[in-house]
Amino acid sequence: MSCLSMKSLLFLLSIPCLCSGQPLPLALRFSTFLDAAKVFHLHWDHDENEVMTFELRVRTTGWVAFGFSLHGKITGSDIMIGGVHPDGSTYFSDWHGVNEKTIEEDESQDYELLSLTEDKTYTTVQFRRYLRTCDPNDLDITIDTQRLIFAFGIDDTVQFFKGQRMVKSLFLMLVQSPDGYKQPSVSLEYDLKLNDFAVPVDETTYACTFIPLPIVKTKHHIYKFGPIITPRNISLVHHILVYACGNHSVLPSGVSDCYGADPDFALCSQVLVGWAIGGGSYQFPDETGISVGTPLDPKYIRLEVHYSNFDLIPGLIDNSGIRLYYTPELRPYDMGVLQTGVFTFPVHFIPPGADDYKSYGLCNSSQFDEVNGAPVPDLHVFGYLLHTHLAGRGVKTVQYRNGEQVRFICEDRMYDFTLQETRDLKNEIIIKPGDEILVECSFQTLDRTGITFGGPSTLNEMCLSFLFYYPRNNISSCMGYPDIQYIAQQLGQEASDPMEGMMAVNMVDWDNDTVKSAEKAAKDADQIVVIKTIDVSNFFWSGQDNPTGGARAPGLGLAAAGPEAVTLWSTSATTRPSGSNQKA
């Protein structure tokens, strides 16, 4: 993808600027309110010419601003500012942030105005730009989570720093809108939600509860999920995740902190769907759905609702959750979820004071047929959900075949913990049994003084990439972790077994050099690969979050819970794909 300037865009297609009257009728597939107060409404779409078109409607008759920022900062940001004067004349131009107190108009104007109109209530501006312009003062629109920056004033004297200004994470490179899919003629609805939950007076709450899936006598397919947000509470509910549980007989009842004192509230780790503030409904491709009503299917889910009660408002009662849509009209294939990444427990660690520390987890799928109990058909992957906790800054999932890199399956270099959502791949991809899947996560721990270990709490870390695929097989997860003894030895510590290895990394004097050495050792180390199945009697849908039922590496003195359900083996550093630094 090369950068392109506005001049070539103008050659491509020229739309005359409509600078009065009604906005142009544009068919833009995606839309969302950018803020909880619904002042900013954004429509957008992108095309094969790498052009993104926007329509921004703002509840003001003053100036409006919209653009891109690196980390929510003004320094280095790329902003368009426009409006309609009381006499009907318009202004519109491309700016950039010089520092936190100054913005400057760009010499190269790379936002093309399509229309700019105003009525008594709203200012509506339609414009477009290339994903990558040639101007170093602009920011690229990428497949990463974007940090949008937007502002408005109440009159047409542009005072950017005096206006109301907000920042929001949004993923713009959506590929499918739910309207693009077939709707079944029979559709049933079922709500997975909290009932009159008293939201604590805390900035952040992760409320978890276990809910049965719909009980049906015959097989049905869940084909769609949509948010149910208690009206007016939109700013309170930050994100929602739904995880599948296996046939687990002892799930706790009630609602509790997902990652608090009772570890059972973190059971069931197989993500089925993720929704984040600003998101809409999500529908699976026409070929596939989640099977319910057969013995192999999950019976329960864990609902995790993340609340942000930043204003510490007491007495809030909430009934939010996810509505699922299911149908007896079966699709050709059952959907499966393959969890890949770093095996969380017990050896994943991230040193403190790291600006960008990378962890690697390898899935070697050459044992899939054996673990599955029957030949595994090719996995048709259509979507993904990336997951780390608060220190995560990026996740990348790379596919290898016969030691050669095949492709980046998915990547987000601007990961935002608060925007965990199911995303579609642009094109379905095939994973063949025998392929390797390497997940690389970047973490930032500059604000931490101690080691961050892998674990279910939000202050512990995870590095996961959930791949949504069809047709379903028996395998639920395939993850890897580096040989901790090797890492400890590379750091100059003695370790005769993995447990000593874990204790040894706590003895290291962390500075930027030892952080780099640890990262290199973790990258070079052999990986121990753990494959788990959806074992209905052994509830292997719960996974690495479960400290009592998950798999253990040999040598730690802990037994694997089910002999058929878990396979462990090492891969050697010499045959392992060497990182993922070159793009396919």
| Catalytically annotated residues | 206, 387
Q: Which stretch binds ligand NAG (CB under 6 A): 152-160, 406-414, 469-477, 492-500?
A: 469-477
* Count of residues engaged in binding ligand NAG, rule: CB under 6 A: 31
Residues 373-412 that bind ligand NAG (CB under 6 A): 373-374
Q: Is 230 in the site for ligand NAG (CB under 6 A)?
A: yes
Q: How does DSSP assign 261-315, residue by residue?
A: S-GGGG---EEEEEEETT---EE--TTEEEEESSTTS--EEEEEEEEE-TT--TT
Between β-strands 255-257 and 204-212, what pairing exists: parallel, antiparallel or unpaired?
A: antiparallel
Contact assessment for residue 115 and residue 43, using Cβ atoms and an 8 Å cutoff: no
Q: Is 570 in the site for ligand NAG (CB under 6 A)?
A: no
Q: How far is the CB of 527 from ligand NAG (least distance, A)?
A: 7
Length of the chain: 584
Residue window 411-450: x/- pattern of binding to ligand NAG, with contact defined by CB under 6 A:
-------------------------x---------x----
* Sheet with 123-130: strands ordered across: 30-33, 40-46, 51-58, 123-130, 112-118
Q: Which stretch binds ligand NAG (CB under 6 A): 46-54, 61-69, 387-395, 570-578?
A: 570-578
DSSP code, position 39 = -
Interatomic CA distance for residues 54 and 79, integer angstroms? 13
Nearer to ligand NAG, 172 or 560 (CB): 560
Q: Is 217 in the site for ligand NAG (CB under 6 A)?
A: no
Query: Which of 256, 493, 517, 571 is close enough to bind ligand NAG by CB under 6 A?
Result: 571
Residues 523-562 that bind ligand NAG (CB under 6 A): 536-537
For Cα atoms 323, 328, 334, give the angle at the middle one, nearest 5 degrees: 80
Nearer to ligand NAG, 313 or 503 (CB): 313
Q: Is 449 exposed, middle or buried (0-12, 13-18, 19+ CB in 10 A)?
A: exposed
Q: Which stretch binds ligand NAG (CB under 6 A): 47-55, 277-285, 371-379, 481-489?
A: 371-379
For Cα atoms 506, 358, 578, give the angle at the middle one, nearest 5 degrees: 115
To which residue do tokens 């390497």 refer?
438
User: Closest-CB residue for ligand NAG?
Assistant: 353
Query: Which of 247, 269, 460, 476 is close enough to bind ligand NAG by CB under 6 A?
Result: 247
Which residues make Cβ contacts (< 8 Å) with residue 85, sequence separation at least 6? 91, 156
Q: Is 198 in the site for ligand NAG (CB under 6 A)?
A: no
Q: Is 519 in the site for ligand NAG (CB under 6 A)?
A: no
Interatomic CA distance for residues 252 and 300, integer angstroms? 11
Q: Is 204 in the site for ligand NAG (CB under 6 A)?
A: no
Q: Which stretch binds ligand NAG (CB under 6 A): 39-47, 168-176, 421-429, 471-479?
A: 471-479
CA distances from 510 to 346, 349, 354, 519 (A): 20, 13, 9, 12
Q: Is 212 in the site for ligand NAG (CB under 6 A)?
A: no
* Best CA proximity match to 282, nearest among 312, 327, 322: 322
Which residues contact ligand NAG (rule: CB under 6 A)?
Answer: 230, 232-233, 236, 247, 249, 295, 313, 316-317, 353, 364, 366, 372-374, 436, 446, 472-474, 510-512, 515, 536-537, 571, 575-577
